[in-house]
Structure 1
Amino acid sequence: MSVKKILTWLGIAFLIFFVAFRPNSAADVFQSLGSTIGDIAQGFSEFFTSLVA
């Protein structure tokens, strides 16, 4: 097995463990990630809008 494959499986196992035993914390993390992605998308949108206008 390659190191990449082992690290991938360890990451998946950690994610399952995190969601199973700390669901509130996991929800907060995913909410924060979603908010950050939304902020980035809004920034790109504002940039292209001001670029075209």
Structure 2
Amino acid sequence: MPPVKKIVMWLVVIFLLYAIFTSPDSAADIFGSAWDVVANGVRNIGRFFDSLISRS
């Protein structure tokens, strides 16, 4: 199974490079949106633990 995993990883990398080179504005928008989702998730986890600590 590891060779299949490596091939899939390379296909994903090649696709990402293709998307960046053919449409950099759209790729930047997608990356920005993904970054906002990650940042919002981390912020919400912080709020959750802050709320948990303040209840004690």
Q: How does the TM-score come out when normalised to structure 1?
A: 0.91
Amino acid in the other structure paired with 2:47: E
Please, which runs of 5 or more residues in structure 2 have no aligned partner?
none
Residue 27 of structure 1 corresponds to 28
Could you report, residue by residue, the CA deviation over 1:17-39 in whole angstroms, capped at 9, with x for unpaired residues?
A: 00001101100110001000011
Aligned-residue Cα RMSD (Å) equals: 1.3
| Length, aligned pairs only | 53
Could you report, residue by residue, the CA deviation over 1:2-51 in whole angstroms, capped at 9, with x for unpaired residues?
A: 21111111111101100001101100110001000011011101101110
Amino acid in the other structure paired with 1:47: F
Runs of 4+ in structure 1 deviating by more than 6 angstroms, as ranges, are none
Q: How does the TM-score come out when normalised to structure 2?
A: 0.87
Amino acid in the other structure paired with 2:36: S
